[in-house]
Amino acid sequence: MKGRTPFYQSLMGLVALLCSASAVVAQEYDPVEDGHALVTMYCTDCHATETAGNSPFATAPRFRDLHLRYDVELLSEALVEGIVTAHPEMPQFEFDPLQAAAIVAYLKSLELSSVRFDVESTN
Ligand code: HEC
């Protein structure tokens, strides 16, 4: 019976290791980064998706300006239900709720960076 203890301990050690490894993975999920990746994949052809630069498609709003028009939080629902604009140039997208939340998180981060930029540029 004594011989089992080290095995049991190393098993527990392994379990603890696995638990902490999955905790690290969970912590590494960054919605802003995920949203950035999504808009880079699907939206940069037409929209300015970064903190600088203009939209390649002249009539497509720059993402960092969207919050000037409305609360970007409201986009989350549209992204899930299929965002449709008045312009047929923009294809219809449908994202799952996690992706939509990530895109909104990224848009919000742009909002913050444009505020910082505005503050800096008034100096
Ligand atoms: C093929 C070009 C194209 C792509 C790709 C594209 N858009 Fe657009 N988007 C446009 C154009 C053009 C407009 C302007 C439409 C208008 O003013 O009605 C627009 C407008 C918008 C608006 C503003 C809508 C409004 O009513 O004010 C949002 C939000 C938007 N796009 C989000 C996205 C997102 C998110 C993606 C990527 C998932 C994306 N777009 C990809 C062309 C595109």
pLDDT tens-digit map of 47-94: 999 999 999 999 999 999 999 988 898 888 888 887 666 556 777 788
SS3 state of residue 88: coil
Task: Break the chain into its structural domains and give their ranges.
Answer: 30-121
Q: Give CA separation, 22 vs 15, 17, 28, 113, in Å.
A: 11, 9, 10, 31
The domain made up of 30-121 has a fold known as: Cytochrome Bc1 Complex; Chain D, domain 2 (1.10.760)
Q: Give CA separation, 67 vs 6, 28, 92, 101, in Å.
A: 59, 27, 21, 15
Q: What is the pTM of this model?
A: 0.75
Evaluate: CB of 90 within 6 angstroms of ligand 1: yes
Evaluate: CB of 86 within 6 angstroms of ligand 1: yes
More confident residue, 27 or 57: 57
Structure tokens at 52: 């600088």
Sign of CA dihedral 16, 22, 24, 26: negative
Distance between Cα 90 and ligand 1 center (Å): 5
